[in-house]
Amino acid sequence: MANQVNGNAVQLKEEEEPMDTSSVTHTEHYKTLIEAGLPQKVAERLDEIFQTGLVAYVDLDERAIDALREFNEEGALSVLQQFKESDLSHVQ
């Protein structure tokens, strides 16, 4: 969206709308992730990872949640994407 400021066209960043989660199925841990202070999109992505079976909620400890909280939303999503793409088959 562009507006005029002092006669010049200025591109304005549109406000992001909250994700519609009404049609998304969450695990029982989604609410816990939100209550732990994770942004909605980060909690959604982590919940998706739980649903794929790549990692279980019980396998995470508080340090992992704290580390995700330290990142901004984009950084946390990037970390989770890298995690999803990693071959962790050798890790127990």
Task: Give per-residue pLDDT as tens, 60-89.
Answer: 889 999 999 999 999 999 999 998 888 666
DSSP, collapsed to helix, strand or coil, labels residue 64 as helix
Q: How many domains does the chain fold into?
A: 1
Taking only Cα atoms into account, the Rg of the chain, rounded to an integer number of angstroms, comes to: 17
d(CA 3, CA 18): 24
Compute φ and ψ for 46, nearest 5 degrees: -65, -40
Per-residue confidence (pLDDT) for residue 6, from 0 to 100: 46
Residue (of 53, 56, 46, 51) closest to 79 by Cα position: 46
Per-residue confidence (pLDDT) for residue 50, from 0 to 100: 92
Is pLDDT above 50 for 5?
no
1 compared with 53, residue with greater pLDDT: 53
Element spanning 5, H or E: strand 2-5
Residue 8 in domain: no
d(CA 86, CA 54): 10
Per-residue confidence (pLDDT) for residue 90, from 0 to 100: 60
Residue 4 in domain: no
Residue 86 in domain: no
Residue 88 in domain: no
Task: Give the pair of three-digit tokens for residue 60.
Answer: 């995470």
Residue 52 in domain: yes
Range of the domain at 69: 28-80
Dihedral sign for Cα atoms in the order 83, 84, 88, 92: positive
Task: Give per-residue pLDDT as tens, 11-64.
Answer: 544 444 555 545 678 889 999 999 999 999 999 999 999 999 888 999 888 999
The model's pTM: 0.68
Residue 54 in domain: yes
